[in-house]
Structure 1
Amino acid sequence: MRSAGIAAALCVAATAATTTTVAAEVPEMTFNVVGTWSTGAMFKEHEEPMFETLLPEMTGGKLNGEVTAMTELGLKGFETVKLLQSNVYDAGFMALAYIASGDPVFEGIDLALAPANTDEARALVTAYEPVVSRAMEDIHGVKYLISYPFPAQVLVCTEPFETLADLQGRKIRVYSTTLGDLAEGLGGVSVSIPLSEVPTALQRGVIDCGISSGVSMYAAKWQDVVGYLYETPVSAGIAAVGMNMAKWDALGEAGQAAMMETATAFAEKAWAALKETEQQGIACLTGTVIDGGQPCRYGEPADMTLVRDSAVNTEIREAVLRDFVLKRYAERCGPDCTALWNETAGTVIGIEAQP
């Protein structure tokens, strides 16, 4: 017994010594980091704390960063990856839909309507993430750290609708090619407008509907001009954390391990919050509390009408996914790219993309 106790103590001491040695090997570095939208909950609650709080805590203050939202810098979503390529920023948070126009392989992680729920979204991302990681390094020369979800993307309109079939002919604001496929699959017209301009466009009738996260809509006061919210998300809203490759290499083995550990903890927190942010979007925009959620914690709830899901909508979503979203994705992606998607993400959701 005594020998076992001594062995255990020696093991603990050895582990502690190893941990101390690894921590000692982490270099002292400060990163300039570009975040996403300053108006969104994701930036304040997850992105900013990753580099300014979590990373210093996990490295004894040796690694830290200063995070500036791209909206404060006057940047567009697709520019982040270019800033990392050109050494302007050391690290950044990127909504993958915004860089997908450069190569369809990036679309595959966040296709409209593909995941039916939160659990399926995460399984799809896990299956397809290695493909995106390789593509990020091969195409852009950027180190891909990890994926994480924005609050689920939902659809709102200014005028009433009972089912998705009622959206035929309506002008729908989208921000990605795959969401454009969704809008056109519903018989609508896809319109690309920057997030900050959407409330004015809705008010003036330039568009009839829009897609974003519920919490972001609430923060941007879309509820002042829209009245109807479809309860089921139409996209997962997947983003990624990336690093300039030279900065990544400079971290060394111990620094890279610490960075990946921090990124993993950050992503886990974002995934854990996904269902709650979906509930909050509905609670804040409509005042309706669903699935055991909580009342709006961002302010006084609006009184939009919640359009509940139905069997009719399920049939419509499945048809649009098969005949528009996946079909057009396969056409853009090509045979090899499509086969790779089918072997990974497609296996998770049980459907193949066919041109």
Structure 2
Amino acid sequence: MKLSGTRKIAAALGLAALTAAGPASAATTWLMASGYPEDNFHTKNIRMFIEEVEEKSGGELTIDLQPNDSLIKLDSIKRAIQSGQIPIGELRLGVYGNEDPMYILAGLPFVAPTYATAWDLKDAQKPYFDKLFGDAGMKVLYYTPWPGQGFYTKFPIEEASDLEGVKLRIYSTSTQEMGELLGFQATILPFAEIPQAFSTGLIEALFTSPQTGIDIQAWDNTDHFTDAGAIYTKNAVVVSSAAFDALDEATQKVVLDAAVAAEKRGWEMSEATNKEQQGILADNGMTVSQAPDWLIEKMKTIGGKMLVTWKESASPEAIEAVTPYFQAQGLE
């Protein structure tokens, strides 16, 4: 019998109580929430992670993934893990900028504008995030980047005045600031609300990845994708420390080894699918083009100003963690 979302969460609460009581002595099932559909590469990568865990643990740990906001809405997954509703989930880090500025650093334009620099920034941020999540009773298993970002519009972007007053959906406080500095009316909306926001006129354009454009069939509401690259934000798969600690050492090692493999694979999948996904946009009637030089330069200038503001708001510990990265990239 298929459990309802409420009953699944109730079952997870029972699991949380069990795992907090002591080490697992029998096969364990984790209920997992994520916000994206099955054909999203993030979800595909999670499925492969789950398969490896189940196979190499000999069935000692199974993970029941509920994708596409079907169990818990994406922006609520972090709280659900922290409160013990579920033991594991996928987060989009950029939505938590109001909690700590480190969450939005990767979302500043041209702070880490390639996969290589995004990987280096991830490594620099990792010890800080390990402590941040650890203090909240959670453990990050792995990170996966979104492809570079672009603008979905009904018109070609040819000059700065084209952007003035256009209602743009973005996904974080940093991209909201960027959008407003470019002249847009920028609004933060969850992924699942995009189609309805278009139908009601709340938004007219998007700034997001090719993957998200495909997930919500952006060609139904826009005609142009202008690729700017510039930003490679990250998702993270996070587990409750109580649930992880309740596993025996052998199963813990299986999970950690599978996470290492999933992180490497996820970065490769993101990069490999980027061009393919732009082709899918074109196949569905969209005009795909590179951002004009004036827009790139303006975004770089905005990114520099936003980084100054970020440094003013970040804690000394956060700044210390990423200073070596800033120095290597000439961002001091």
2:112 & 2:319 partners in 1: Cα distance? 18
State whether structure 2 residue 312 is matched by structure 1 residue 331.
yes
Partner of 1:294: none
Count of residue correspondences: 309
How far apart are residue 191 of structure 1 and its match?
0.8
Partner of 1:233: 229
- The AA in structure 2 aligned to 1:126 is D
Partner of 1:62: 60
**Residue aligned with 1:116, SS:** coil
How far apart are residue 264 of structure 1 and its match?
0.8
Partner of 2:293: 311
Partner of 2:13: none
Asked if 1 retains the 8 angstrom alpha-carbon contact of 2:171 and 2:189, the reply is yes
1:307 & 1:29 partners in 2: Cα distance? 48
State whether structure 2 residue 75 is matched by structure 1 residue 78.
yes
- The AA in structure 2 aligned to 1:45 is K
Correspondence for 2:105 among 84, 104, 108? 108
Partner of 2:261: 265
Tell which deviates more after alignment, 209-218 or 241-250. 209-218
Classify 1:39/1:254 alpha carbon distance in 2 versus 1 (closer, same or farther; 3 Å).
Answer: closer
**Residue aligned with 1:162, SS:** coil
State whether structure 2 residue 331 is matched by structure 1 residue 351.
yes
Partner of 2:203: 207
Partner of 1:16: none
1:191 & 1:201 partners in 2: Cα distance? 10
State whether structure 2 residue 302 is matched by structure 1 residue 302.
no
How far apart are residue 100 of structure 1 and its match?
2.7
Asked if 2 retains the 8 angstrom alpha-carbon contact of 1:170 and 1:208, the reply is yes
1:271 & 1:154 partners in 2: Cα distance? 19
Asked if 1 retains the 8 angstrom alpha-carbon contact of 2:43 and 2:67, the reply is no
Asked if 1 retains the 8 angstrom alpha-carbon contact of 2:121 and 2:322, the reply is no
1:150 & 1:57 partners in 2: Cα distance? 28
TM-score by length of 1: 0.79
Partner of 2:145: 149
How far apart are residue 80 of structure 1 and its match?
1.1
2:174 & 2:247 partners in 1: Cα distance? 36
2:128 & 2:109 partners in 1: Cα distance? 18
Q: What are the ranges of 5 or more consecutive residues in structure 2 without an aligned counterpart?
A: 1-23
Asked if 2 retains the 8 angstrom alpha-carbon contact of 1:108 and 1:128, the reply is no
- The AA in structure 1 aligned to 2:319 is A
How far apart are residue 37 of structure 1 and its match?
1.5
**Residue aligned with 1:236, SS:** coil
Tell which deviates more after alignment, 25-34 or 222-231. 25-34
2:116 & 2:229 partners in 1: Cα distance? 13
| 1:88-120 per-position Cα deviation (integer Å, ceiling 9, x unaligned) | 211111111122322223223443432221221
Percent identical residues: 22
**Residue aligned with 2:187, SS:** strand
Asked if 1 retains the 8 angstrom alpha-carbon contact of 2:171 and 2:188, the reply is yes
Pairwise CA RMSD = 2.4
Asked if 1 retains the 8 angstrom alpha-carbon contact of 2:118 and 2:232, the reply is yes
Correspondence for 1:134 among 127, 131, 134? 131
**Residue aligned with 1:273, SS:** helix
How far apart are residue 341 of structure 1 and its match?
5.1
Correspondence for 1:99 among 96, 99, 103? 96
Asked if 1 retains the 8 angstrom alpha-carbon contact of 2:36 and 2:43, the reply is no
